[in-house]
């Protein structure tokens, strides 16, 4: 065979391999429902669903039903589907997350594709919906505590090793990222190059319970993704508006910024945490603090203020008493 023909065949094979390895494209073009100031007048749908591509969905609970307004992610393979987080509402009458997800699952051999429900971490706003899946057939709900996470994914050297889950022609990597929560993990979908970072990285508050663990997790995650493509980094919440102001609580999200972060944003995380003082810091769209320490400091400040008020009142009472005594003596 002529060298030119061999070169052409090799080029064709290389192009085919590169095409097969390219992430499946998708989009999140529609705006997220912002909720409303008075949710009783015209209640919005409790769950909004956006189709990223034919096998990937992003779901969000509306601010009118939970001020957390968390995001959930459904990834569909050929043998099973994966739901990342189950939301903040246990009552199916308020937020029917289980039936919403079931309606998105394809039917194979006369039944819905098996579903595995996992979590980025164990805080209630990411697992309250678990109970809705308990009675559903072909559904497995994985525990969100550290033993449950380690056992299901098969971690042997937590948090320094990575695990994988095979959905059938779709591999999802699971990277330990404790710091916000002891059992926090981040998911990387090889099919779409999407990173699902939970509360470890999002536009808004990065709440740190263990500073050293969070710093190691940031370095671990950035190193894992260094040579891998990243389409978007998708967190568990949006907590920032387009003007850089935090959005916390309430039933309406005015001028909410987009959910998606990029690989360059994530690459800054180790540096952000390296400069974090263990109490509070802010850099751009990220407000980093230890909630327990901040609440403790606020509590101490309130206590000091109360003591100062009491002492001031006591001083005023004593001065008034002495004044009355002087007047009586005169």
DSSP string across 112-170: EPPEEEE-S---GGGTGGGGGGTT-TTEEE---SHHHHHHHHT-SSTTSS-EEEE-SS-
In contact, 246 and 204? CB cutoff 8 Å: yes
Whether the Cβ atoms of residue 149 and residue 155 lie closer than 8 Å to each other: yes
How many Cβ atoms are within 10 Å of 104's Cβ, its own excluded? 18
Mean pLDDT of 119-146: 97
Residue 74 has pLDDT above 50, yes or no: yes
The Cα–Cα gap between 99 and 46 comes to: 12
Percent of the chain residues topping a pLDDT of 90: 78
Q: So where are the chain's domains?
A: 25-289, 296-330
**For 238-286, what is each residue's pLDDT tens digit?**
999 999 999 999 999 999 999 999 999 999 999 999 999 999 999 888 9
- Band of residue 315 on the pLDDT scale cut at 50, 70, 90: low
pLDDT digit string (tens) for 36-54?
Answer: 999 998 999 999 999 999 9
Peptide bond preceding 73 in cis form (omega within 30 of 0): no
Average pLDDT over residues 160-187: 98
- How many Å apart are CA 144 and CA 41, to the nearest integer? 37
- Tell me the average pLDDT of the chain: 89
Q: Label residue 298 by pLDDT band (50, 70, 90).
A: very low
β pairing state of 71-76 and 56-61: antiparallel
Residue 90 or 312, more confident: 90
| Residue 205, pLDDT score | 96
pLDDT at 9 over 80: no
In the predicted structure, residue 10 carries a pLDDT above the cut 50: no
What's the pLDDT score for residue 273? 96
Which residues, in sequence order, are bridge partners of residue 185?
176
Place of tokens 């189709």: 51
**Spacing of C-alpha 243 from chain mean position:** 21
Percent of the chain with pLDDT over 70: 85
**What pLDDT was estimated at residue 326?**
73
Nearest-10 Cα torsion for 114, 119, 124, 125: -90
Q: What is the pLDDT of residue 324?
A: 75
- Mapping DSSP onto H, E and C, the string for 70-108 reads CEEEEEECCCCEEEECCCCCCCCCCCCHHHHHHHHCCEE
CA distances from 81 to 110, 171, 271, 308 (A): 16, 11, 35, 59
Contacts for 125 with CB less than 8 Å, ≥ 6 apart:
66, 68, 70, 87, 88, 236
Over range 152-163, report the average pLDDT: 97
**Residue range 25-289 in CATH 3.60.15.10:** yes
SS3 at position 210: coil
**pTM over cut 0.75:** yes
| Number of neighbouring beta carbons within 10 Å of residue 127 | 22
Q: Tell me, what's the pLDDT at 113?
A: 98
Is the model's pLDDT at 19 over the cut of 90? no
**Kind of pairing, strands 47-53 and 56-61?**
antiparallel
Q: Which residues contact 18 (CB under 8 A, 6 or more apart)?
A: none
- Please report which confidence band the pLDDT of residue 231 belongs to, taking 50, 70 and 90 as the band edges: very high
pLDDT of residue 300: 45
Q: What per-residue string of b and e applies to 62-92 under the rule 16 or more CB within 10 Å gives b?
A: bbbbbebbbbbbbbbbeebbbbbbbbbbbee
pLDDT band at 7 (very low <50, low <70, confident <90, very high): very low
Tokens found for residue 239:
């907590």
Structure tokens at 27: 């989009």
3-state DSSP call for residue 194? strand
């Amino acid at each position: 065979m002529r060298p030119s023909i061999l070169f052409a065949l090799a080029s064709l094979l290389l192009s085919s391999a590169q095409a097969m390895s390219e992430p499946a494209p998708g989009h999140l073009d529609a705006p997220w429902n912002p909720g409303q100031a008075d949710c009783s007048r015209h209640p919005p749908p409790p769950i909004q669903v956006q189709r990223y591509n034919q096998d990937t969905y992003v779901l969000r609970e509306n601010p009118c039903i939970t001020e957390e307004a968390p995001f959930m992610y459904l990834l569909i393979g050929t043998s099973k589907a994966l739901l990342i987080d189950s939301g903040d509402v246990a009552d199916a009458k308020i937020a029917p997350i289980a039936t919403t997800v079931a309606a998105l699952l394809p039917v194979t051999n006369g039944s819905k594709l098996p579903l595995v429900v996992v979590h980025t971490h164990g805080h209630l706003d990411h697992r309250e919906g678990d109970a809705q899946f308990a009675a559903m057939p072909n559904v497995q709900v994985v525990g969100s505590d550290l033993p449950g996470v380690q056992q299901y994914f098969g971690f042997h050297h937590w948090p320094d090793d990575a695990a994988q889950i095979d959905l059938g022609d779709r591999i999802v990597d699971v990277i330990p990222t404790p710091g916000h929560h002891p059992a926090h993990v981040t998911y990387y979908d090889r099919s779409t190059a999407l990173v699902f970072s939970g509360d470890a990285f999002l536009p808004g508050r990065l709440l740190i319970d263990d500073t050293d663990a969070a710093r190691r997790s940031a370095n671990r995650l950035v190193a894992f993704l260094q040579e891998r493509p990243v389409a978007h980094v998708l967190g568990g919440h949006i907590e920032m508006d387009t003007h850089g102001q935090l959005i916390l609580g309430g039933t309406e999200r005015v001028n909410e910024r987009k959910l998606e972060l990029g690989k360059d944003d994530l690459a800054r995380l180790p540096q952000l945490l390296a400069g974090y003082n263990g109490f509070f810091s802010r850099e751009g769209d990220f407000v980093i603090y230890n909630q327990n320490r901040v609440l403790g400091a606020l509590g101490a400040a309130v206590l000091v203020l109360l003591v100062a008020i009491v002492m001031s009142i006591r001083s005023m009472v004593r001065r008034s008493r002495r004044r009355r005594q002087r007047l009586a003596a005169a």
